[in-house]
A and B are shown apart, each in its own frame.
Chain A
């Protein structure tokens, strides 16, 4: 026991990652039917990320047909050659290989989260340093929250392709925290290529990258170790003095947007080489926009557009998308001092409001919230975090039950499942609002230390 503790003390990451991988593999081996069962669940698999549909696309692709000339497969083309390397997932070996691949992805994601947490970008930025930064969780805890999150665990076994999106998004954020603009933009381009909505993260990620770049330059010029923890005062003074050395925000944004656009164009061109036609473009990217496939999912869109009057369908599609778009820029403006918070909160907006919502995205966002762990104190003291978490648990447990009542037992109707998805979205929204509140409150208290713990109003 002591030896174990010693090992954990010395190599916490190794122990954590190997135990997480062992848990996943153990689950897949002990319950061989579990992964296929989870693949069939509507909460995990949606029309744009289902592993089963990927297999169907693969089947058509391997026979030389255009997999996008049909209504089943809507996933990114470059996944096809990747998965055609794996053995067929109908066999035991194939299933195991796919589980291994997804486990590896999860570990890489956790490693990226570890690095983000280590960089301290959450509580310290160019213009701001949180008064609560000593309350930040250890990076290993953030990674553990991701790896042992039950939603992430189930998603890993259900193998939807949004795990790739999550990984590349987090990878992009992690590169942005290291001020590597090109790789960050490239990773974000891959994430947007696999599913559309990470495009919305481009402004906050760009801002984060710019912020870290400024910090790094300031740190270097000050002769300090650029470990991401420069003393505040030195930083402040440096910013005041070394304004000239920093890249202008305009040229930086042009650079990052250009990289993003080039990378996207490169990926799309590569896809075109694999496929006989450009038909994959509407199939992959128009599907989340127009939502032709109304399979239930835990989001807000599906039942709304089942019940929508035909004349207003296009109008409300536009309204819903504009609504999602409307968060990106205001978040950037308001969270200028805390760009990582902007990224994390924007991920939350996407996870709640995306058309084909799934538990995997919500779980990944909940784990990323641990990056903002220094402000949890505020939200738990002043807001509705406990009721929201309880509601989340309630919805997570009742959701499958109500779905069963509707689809299998026939003793409930669609409203049962719809109601539970509403509750789920509401709980996520409350959590999101709480996070926004605490981040803003923390920022305000940095200016006004005397306001700590006192009642405030918003005007």
Chain B
């Protein structure tokens, strides 16, 4: 009984083994390094694994992570994009985003997927299965992506994979049509517990190759970082041009993009706290007028900081992860982009073989490179390519000594296609307004899609939506003119789905053109809802996170394709199996989609009015009292009738009680009256005075006691005061 499946397994696999060629899937990994201005370093890790689609369907995995694949198959998900992000990409100083923003997520967790639909409610159910399973897999709160956080964008996202015959039916959501679902969790804090499952999906599990650099302590210390997972099917058309698609593969691409502060990362581990350096080590700027014997103005750093992989990531790269078999010599694992020529040392196995990359290349020659890079990047940019050493256990390190010459100034092309900021304006916790500014630094107009998924407790008023356009690129000018109110810009397309309380968030998609060298301000007003007291998080007065806007720049000209966007090794490698994003784009259903530039604004913090959380019982009691008062007095008037006071009939029970009371009063009243009455008549005023005197004496005595008690209780501290107070009390007495 147990044997039969065991026997059946190889038999069932046989056809696939026979059908597919020997290497069932490929795996490549790549690390791109690029120093950025102001002492930052960009590091982009790319891990790409593929598996043939038949093997994927038959659950036959070698390089593709089984845990993720089974979840995707169970939830009927054809294409998945998952992002864990932290921090903010600094457009102004770092330039365009890596990979054209295509592997970037809004802060927190962002997920979107194309799920196979099949009638009413099926998509929602599958989506819920997907996010709940992924929540378990990645230790993230993805299960909180419910109906209120799920949207279905229309214009913003295009599938990256090949979904022949199906994905355009998503609007009809008919049988088998693919439906795009999108959800964000802006409040989620991405941390080590998300990285560990991420690394486990890799074939080398972070034990060999460039993934050995991914240490949680360094990764989450970054100024900006994104972990992304993208799963998509890819089909290459048959070579004979018959139109039939074959050679379909599932590809999983995992990327880690981060920007590290070199100074903070290279801080010694034994002394991680930033301290002021001793004055002798600081170089003073003697040109300042206030420089003197006792004052020192530190001179700004002239050149770029020196760094090495080991210093920044805590350890050098250990071993390699060349699993694809064949074509090993062609893979380039590490690439380094430098804006200006700079000596680079490669350290293998801790032997200090100082090799300048330009003169004495390491094992694979890093030469071919300027030819590649010149097409996509400025001519001054230098590119070095390295392959990790083959023997396992050998370490690989790059070291760049500090330079003294100032870094080359930014060139014009470093402008990203669009600058975007988004704020909440207005004061108070009742009304507010959203204000997004999109600035086009280029001399040509750009068509963009602006997408926002808003929580239901932010009630936007779309009739107040205004797109106003101001010319000029200067910030000051722009702000000055906004106050005057610029020209109103038309919206080309608008998709808006209003929110329903506690059921659905609102979704806004706008398509419009940002004119050349101009800024567009998008504003609309909203109301802040008051929630039930159980719906507030424990830190209610912090406010609620609102996911950032996703902006898709639709038609960028080729001049702005980011220097990061095409994978550096995609053009140099000849391995047909390593399908990188660059080479596959032409095969997707919408070829231009991949080239679109995406950017996301940082999330916003929305303060909502809060009730008093300690009051539920008090409120219930007080409100009920008022209502009961009204109810009682109204019905009291309604059900009873008026009579004159004299006519009020005496009820028999009341009468007997009164009689009893009268008798008691008569008996006791006589006795008491005799005693007190006699004394009262005899004593008169004297007694009253006595009483008063007694009272005062008693008061004073009491006071004295209390004060003494205080003196004693205070111990030595109050000892000095005690007698004095006592004396007061005595004097009064």
Contact = CB atoms under 8 A, between A and B. Distances in A.
Contact of B532 (A71, A305, A432): A305
16 contacts: A55-B461, A60-B498, A72-B498, A292-B502, A307-B611, A352-B630, A407-B428, A413-B611, A429-B626, A429-B629, A429-B630, A429-B633, A440-B642, A456-B644, A457-B643, A458-B636
Given A406-B609, A436-B637, A307 B616 contact: yes
Interface in B377-433: 427-431
Interface stretch (B45-53, B352-360, B617-625): B617-625
Contact of A70 (B500, B532, B611, B629): B500
B631 interface: yes
Contacts of A415: 612, 615
A294 B535 CA distance: 12
Nearest to A40: B431
B532 A308 contact: yes
A96 interface: no
A294 B649 CA distance: 50
Contacts of A305: 532
Contacts of A458: 636-637, 640-643
Interface in A276-327: 292-296, 300, 302-310, 320, 323, 326-327
Nearest to B651: A459
Interface in A38-83: 40, 42, 52-53, 55-56, 58-60, 65, 69-72
A contact residues, range: 35 or more
A331 B508 CA distance: 50
A422 interface: yes
A414 B611 contact: yes
Contact of B645 (A42, A334, A454): A454
Interface of A: 40, 42, 52-53, 55-56, 58-60, 65, 69-72, 90, 292-296, 300, 302-310, 320, 323, 326-327, 330-331, 334, 349, 352-353, 406-408, 413-415, 418, 422, 425-426, 429, 432-433, 436-437, 440-441, 444, 448, 451, 454-459
Interface in B655-703: none
Nearest to B632: A433
Given A56-B463, A436-B634, A294 B642 contact: no
Nearest to B637: A436
Secondary structure of the A contact surface, majority rule: helix
Interface of B: 427-431, 456, 459, 461-464, 496-503, 506, 527, 529-534, 609-612, 615-616, 619-620, 622-623, 626-627, 629-631, 633-645, 648-649
A69 B634 contact: no
Contacts of A330: 635, 638-639
A343 B560 CA distance: 73
Contacts of A326: 631
A65 B498 CA distance: 10
Contacts of A292: 501-502
A457 B463 CA distance: 60
A295 B616 contact: no
Contacts of B428: 407-408
Contacts of B497: 69-70
A36 B640 CA distance: 48
Contacts of A414: 609-612
Given A71-B456, A455-B644, 7 more contacts: A56-B462, A71-B503, A304-B619, A408-B430, A426-B626, A437-B637, A459-B641
A296 B530 contact: yes
A331 B648 CA distance: 25
A300 B627 contact: yes
Nearest to B615: A307
Contacts of B502: 292
Contacts of B638: 330-331, 334, 436, 440
Contact of B463 (A42, A90, A413, A422): A90
Contacts, number: 168
Nearest to A306: B611
A300 B645 contact: no
A457 B623 contact: no
A416 B643 CA distance: 43
A454 B644 contact: yes
Contacts of B626: 300, 422, 425-426, 429
B623 A303 contact: yes
A22 B216 CA distance: 72
B462 A307 contact: no
Contacts of B634: 327, 349, 432-433, 436
Contacts of B430: 40, 42, 407-408
A385 B595 CA distance: 75
Contacts of A456: 642-645
B645 A455 contact: yes
Nearest to A294: B530
A306 B533 contact: yes
Contacts of A413: 610-612
B499 to A, nearest CB: 5
B341 to A, nearest CB: 57
A205 B190 CA distance: 64
A303 B609 CA distance: 12
Contact of A433 (B429, B498, B623, B633): B633
B529 A433 contact: no
A23 B610 CA distance: 39
Contact of A59 (B463, B500, B530, B636): B463
Given A71-B500, A353-B627, A308 B616 contact: yes
**7 closest Cβ pairs, A-B complex:** A70-B498, A59-B463, A458-B640, A408-B428, A429-B630, A307-B616, A71-B501
A454 B534 CA distance: 54
Contacts of B649: 459
B532 A294 contact: yes
B509 to A, nearest CB: 14
Nearest to A287: B501
Nearest to B624: A304
Contacts of B630: 352-353, 425, 429, 432-433
A440 to B, nearest CB: 6
A426 B622 CA distance: 11
A323 B624 CA distance: 11
A457 B501 contact: no
A367 B42 CA distance: 72
A303 B463 contact: no
Given A69-B498, A407-B609, A422-B626, A457 B637 contact: no
Contacts of A323: 627, 631
Contact of B642 (A352, A426, A441): A441
B616 A309 contact: yes
A55 B463 contact: yes
A71 B498 contact: yes
Nearest to B532: A306
A327 B612 CA distance: 32
Contacts of B527: 295
Contact of A310 (B503, B532, B633, B640): B532
Given A40-B431, A306-B611, A56 B461 contact: yes
Contacts of A426: 626, 629
B623 A459 contact: no
B462 A59 contact: yes
Nearest to A441: B642
A354 B682 CA distance: 67
B532 A72 contact: no
A429 B295 CA distance: 74
A306 B464 contact: no
A457 B644 CA distance: 6
Nearest to B625: A422
A316 to B, nearest CB: 8
B624 to A, nearest CB: 8
Given A455-B645, A456-B642, A456-B643, A418 B627 contact: no
A113 to B, nearest CB: 24
A40 B430 CA distance: 9
B493 to A, nearest CB: 12
Contact of A294 (B531, B643, B645): B531
A459 B611 contact: no
